[in-house]
Structure 1
Amino acid sequence: MHRTYSMRQSRAPTASQLQNPPPPSSSTKSGRLFGKGGIGHALRRQTAGQFGPDLAKKLSQLVKMEKNVMRSMELVGRERMEVAQQLSIWGEACDDDVSDVTDKLGVLIYEIGELEDQYIDRYDQYRVTIKSIRNIEASVQPSRDRKQKITDQIAQLKYKEPNSPKIVVLEQELVRAEAESLVAEAQLSNITREKLKAAYTYQFDALREHCEKLAIIAGYGKHLLELIDDTPVTPGETRAAYDGYEASKAIIQDCEDALTNWVTANAAVSSKLSTRARTLSQRRRNNIQRNPEGHDLTGQDAPMNDRESGLWVPASAHKGGEDYEDEEEEEEEEVAAPSIQDSALNGEARGRQETVAA
Structure 2
Amino acid sequence: MHRTYSMRQSRAPTASQIQNPPPPPSSTKSNRLFGKGGFGHALRRNAAGAFGPDLSKKLSQLVKMEKNVMRSMELVAKERMDVAQQLSIWGEAGDEDVSDVTDKLGVLIYEIGELEDQYVDRYDQYRVTMKSIRNIEASVQPSRDRKAKITDQIAHLKYKEPNSPKIVVLEQELVRAEAESLVAEAQLSNITREKIKAAYSYHFDAMREHSEKVAIIAGYGKHLLELIDDTPVTPGETRPAYDGYEASKAIIQDCEDSLTNWVSQNAAVSSKLSTRARTLSTRRRNLIKARAEDSGNGHDLSGQDVPLNDRDQWVSAGEHGGKYEDDEEDDELRGEDEDDIGESEVGLNGESRGRTQEVAA
Question: TM-score, normalising length from structure 2?
Answer: 0.82
Give the count of matched residue pairs: 308
Once the two structures are superposed, the pairs formed by residues 71-86 of structure 1 within 5 Å of their partners are: 71-86=71-86
* Pair 159,325 (structure 1): closer, same or farther in 2 beyond 3 Å: farther
Aligned equivalent of 2:192: 192
Aligned equivalent of 1:99: 99
Structure 1 position 49, deviation (Å): 2.5
Aligned partners of 1:94 and 1:244: how far apart in 2? Answer: 15
Aligned equivalent of 1:156: 156
- Structure 2's unaligned 5+ residue stretches are 302-321, 333-361
Structure 1 position 294, deviation (Å): 3.9
Aligned equivalent of 1:239: 239
Structure 1 position 237, deviation (Å): 1.0
- Structure 1's unaligned 5+ residue stretches are 298-323, 335-358
Aligned partners of 2:263 and 2:193: how far apart in 1? Answer: 28
Asked if structure 1 preserves the Cα contact closer than 8 Å seen for 2:60 and 2:131, the reply is yes
What is the SS of the residue equivalent to 1:246? helix
Aligned equivalent of 2:146: 146
Aligned equivalent of 2:136: 136
Structure 1 counterpart of 2:119, one-letter code: Y
* Pair 2,132 (structure 1): closer, same or farther in 2 beyond 3 Å: closer
What is the SS of the residue equivalent to 2:329? coil
Structure 1 position 2, deviation (Å): 6.7
Asked if structure 2 preserves the Cα contact closer than 8 Å seen for 1:91 and 1:102, the reply is yes
Structure 1 position 333, deviation (Å): 8.5
* Pair 90,329 (structure 1): closer, same or farther in 2 beyond 3 Å: closer
Aligned partners of 1:155 and 1:218: how far apart in 2? Answer: 68
Aligned equivalent of 1:165: 165
* Pair 200,15 (structure 1): closer, same or farther in 2 beyond 3 Å: same
Aligned equivalent of 2:18: 18
Aligned partners of 2:254 and 2:263: how far apart in 1? Answer: 16
Aligned partners of 1:109 and 1:61: how far apart in 2? Answer: 34
* Pair 25,79 (structure 1): closer, same or farther in 2 beyond 3 Å: same
What is the SS of the residue equivalent to 1:9? coil
Structure 1 counterpart of 2:108, one-letter code: L
Asked if structure 1 preserves the Cα contact closer than 8 Å seen for 2:5 and 2:249, the reply is no
Asked if structure 1 preserves the Cα contact closer than 8 Å seen for 2:104 and 2:248, the reply is yes
Structure 1 counterpart of 2:19, one-letter code: Q
Aligned equivalent of 1:288: 288
Once the two structures are superposed, the pairs formed by residues 11-90 of structure 1 within 5 Å of their partners are: 11-90=11-90
Aligned partners of 1:332 and 1:285: how far apart in 2? Answer: 47
Aligned partners of 2:331 and 2:182: how far apart in 1? Answer: 39
Moved more, 147-156 or 49-58: 49-58
Cα deviation, 1:194-216, whole Å, max 9, x if unaligned, reads: 00000000010000000000000
Cα deviation, 1:237-281, whole Å, max 9, x if unaligned, reads: 111111000000000000000000000111000000000000000
Q: Which has the higher contact order (CA 8 A, sep 6+)?
A: 1
Structure 1 counterpart of 2:94, one-letter code: C
Aligned partners of 2:258 and 2:6: how far apart in 1? Answer: 16
Matched, 1:7 2:1: no
What is the SS of the residue equivalent to 1:33? coil
Cα deviation, 1:20-43, whole Å, max 9, x if unaligned, reads: 000111001112101234111010
Asked if structure 2 preserves the Cα contact closer than 8 Å seen for 1:101 and 1:227, the reply is yes
What is the SS of the residue equivalent to 2:164? coil
Aligned partners of 1:16 and 1:296: how far apart in 2? Answer: 30
Asked if structure 1 preserves the Cα contact closer than 8 Å seen for 2:157 and 2:167, the reply is yes
What is the SS of the residue equivalent to 2:113? helix
Aligned partners of 1:155 and 1:186: how far apart in 2? Answer: 27
* Pair 295,103 (structure 1): closer, same or farther in 2 beyond 3 Å: closer
Aligned equivalent of 1:205: 205
Cα deviation, 1:157-178, whole Å, max 9, x if unaligned, reads: 0000011111111111101100
Aligned partners of 1:260 and 1:99: how far apart in 2? Answer: 27
Aligned partners of 1:96 and 1:331: how far apart in 2? Answer: 50
Question: TM-score, normalising length from structure 1?
Answer: 0.83
Aligned partners of 1:158 and 1:330: how far apart in 2? Answer: 48
Matched, 1:330 2:328: yes
Asked if structure 2 preserves the Cα contact closer than 8 Å seen for 1:97 and 1:227, the reply is yes
Percent identical: 87
Aligned partners of 2:258 and 2:11: how far apart in 1? Answer: 14
Aligned partners of 1:178 and 1:38: how far apart in 2? Answer: 45
Asked if structure 2 preserves the Cα contact closer than 8 Å seen for 1:16 and 1:264, the reply is yes
Structure 1 position 56, deviation (Å): 0.3
Aligned equivalent of 2:269: 269
Cα deviation, 1:5-57, whole Å, max 9, x if unaligned, reads: 84131032000000100011100111210123411101000100311100000
Structure 1 position 329, deviation (Å): 4.0
